[in-house]
A and B are shown apart, each in its own frame.
Chain A
């Protein structure tokens, strides 16, 4: 049986895995359908570098393993990889002009783990430049268009960001799954805006080695998929101790798929009253209440919790993240790799290369970061922000004394339109108001598609767990997903 692009759009990783093992279709057929779907979706601008040849070659190898009965967990599963993960011999840009033409001579640990599990590379996914953005509009390759945005919507809707290409590739149905990275919400917010599942694991769960660094104390890789089960399957392959990342934590990785028991009876779910913002649409509030009812009906116990420092998470984040970014991005100097723009002497060459190579939002954050770390301001800004971070982490710690997981909306609204927030950095930052506290505290969080807005755009619910307790987060998310029964898929207008 051959697999059509439409069949593929309805397939989960779990179903593809079973189909391959039952010989309902081959890995080669799966790869061809993915490649055809990817090529037909160019209008979305989700993929910045397609790798059909490597997908075909890996599929061939996968088929021989499947035939000989020694298939690995992700054998023959084609994935989109955010173009922030270094891939050996395959151009990696971070969607920045400053890395144009950069071809890594090494493979990131997370992608290597995926290949070792049998997955194959379909293409590198678009993102906000250096993962700095919440709409995928800051990419040097141009914005990604949400598959949910219809022809009549002008301007089109954003897929969220920064992992907007990964989200669009999964939502459009041509990638079975994708990797993302999440520094302040960059997996969960685009997942919510495109009706897919996105998980940020605990800081230290997935290795950061070989991922282009943005803010090292916040960055974490995670899966973006069509179901909670698929997120569990991908995370199992991605996670694990890596001696090459000094913040990677050496602790066993449980079987996440086995954690999906469908049973949340007796689990205590916290509802933080601070997770409301001015002008939050009533439909977001309604969906949140719906989520509470679903978990109550499934036998969970609902408890009110308080996270009093929530409103300070975003301002603290916009000190810590730019500070770390300004330091991390100091390496782009036009000497060892990436763009070089000649100048009058060494300093002038640095300045020309960086000025031409970085986009406006990246420069803005480097400037803020440089300022808050500069002599005389370090204590007032950076230390103050790190103190707030301690208070935010303590809020969660106190709450988790009484509950097993916390339920909130993922984002304060459904997808907005391209250009809507582009002129107001702070309005853009507010998109991450419910996701940023989780990064500051290093905790695991997941977004589950739970409903549609009045306009017909997806909305997500977020579950937050204790450090290294991804298993409980996934278990509760699975129950929310079953109760929500979110089956909506965007009509494939982009193939026209």
Chain B
């Protein structure tokens, strides 16, 4: 199946990327080339084949239910583009 420009614009929105009108056409072309390539998979009948869920044969470990220390607010905020006291600052989200 092939994507149209409206679908590409919707995917961009879902991915929180801007897709300006003049870039939609080439983006649609590129994405369709890749999708056409991956669609080879439909040649193979995978009925009854379990999808891989673990790369190597292992079970996820359980860990002790114990307190672990956080590195502290200074470390967490060290790379913040904008902070106020011990908080990250974002544009206003409530009216």
A142 close to chain B: CB less than 8 A: no
CB–CB A388/B44 < 8 A: yes
The answer to whether B41 touches A312 (Cβ under 8 A) is yes
Partner of A217, one of B8, B14, B30, B55: B55
B18, closest chain A residue (CB): A355
- Which residues does chain A contribute within 8 Å of B33, judged by CB atoms? 425-426
Q: Which B residues between 62 and 93 are near A, CB-CB below 8 angstroms?
A: 63, 71, 75-76, 78-82, 88, 90-93
Among listed A37-45, A68-76, A328-336, interface-contacting one: A328-336
The verdict on A425 contacting B55 (CB below 8 Å), with A315-B41, A351-B18, A352-B18 known, is no
Q: How far is the CA of A390 from the CA of B55 in the complex (A)?
A: 9
CA distance A103 to B33 in the complex (A): 37
A195 to B14, CA, bound (A): 42
The yes or no answer to A294 lying at the interface (CB within 8 A) is no
Is the Cβ of A340 less than 8 Å from the Cβ of B40? no
Greatest chain A CB density within 10 A among B50, B56, B82, B93 is at B56
A389 to B51, CA, bound (A): 7
Contacts of B58 in A (CB 8 A): 204, 247, 249
Contact across chains for A318 and B34 when beta carbons are under 8 A apart: yes
- Among B16, B38, B49, which residue has its beta carbon within 8 angstroms of that of A350? B16
Residue of A nearest to B53 (CB): A386
| 8 A Cβ contacts from B1-21 to A | 3, 8, 11-12, 14-18
Q: Are B34 and A390 in contact (CB under 8 A)?
A: no
Instruction: With both chains docked as a complex, state the minimum distance between the C-beta of B74 and any C-beta of chain A, in angstroms.
Output: 8
Q: Which residue on A lies nearest to B26, using beta carbons?
A: A360
- Interface flag for A400 (CB, 8 Å): no
Which DSSP category, helix, strand, loop or mixed, fits chain A's interface? helix
Q: Do B78 and A103 have beta carbons less than 8 Å apart?
A: yes
Contact of A309 with B by CB under 8 A: yes
The count of chain B contact residues (Cβ–Cβ below 8 Å) is 49
Nearest-neighbor residue (CB-CB) of A361 within chain B: B30
Q: For residue A250, which residues in chain B have a CB less than 8 angstroms away from its CB?
A: 61
Q: A246-B61, A319-B38, A386-B51 are in contact. Are A340 and B81 (CB under 8 A)?
A: yes
Contact: B88 with A335, CB < 8 Å?
Answer: yes
Q: Report which B residues bind A (CB closer than 8 A).
A: 3, 8, 11-12, 14-18, 27, 30-31, 33-35, 37-44, 46, 49-53, 55-58, 60-61, 63, 71, 75-76, 78-82, 88, 90-93
Sampled A-B contacts (30; CB under 8 Å):
A103-B78, A103-B79, A105-B78, A105-B79, A202-B56, A203-B55, A204-B56, A249-B56, A249-B58, A250-B61, A315-B37, A315-B38, A315-B41, A316-B38, A333-B16, A336-B88, A340-B81, A343-B91, A351-B16, A355-B17, A367-B15, A367-B27, A383-B51, A384-B46, A386-B51, A386-B53, A387-B46, A391-B49, A426-B37, A441-B55
Given A346-B91, A354-B17; 19 other pairs, CB 8 A cutoff: A102-B79, A105-B75, A202-B56, A312-B41, A318-B37, A335-B90, A340-B82, A349-B90, A350-B16, A351-B16, A351-B18, A354-B15, A367-B11, A367-B17, A387-B49, A387-B51, A426-B34, A426-B37, A467-B56
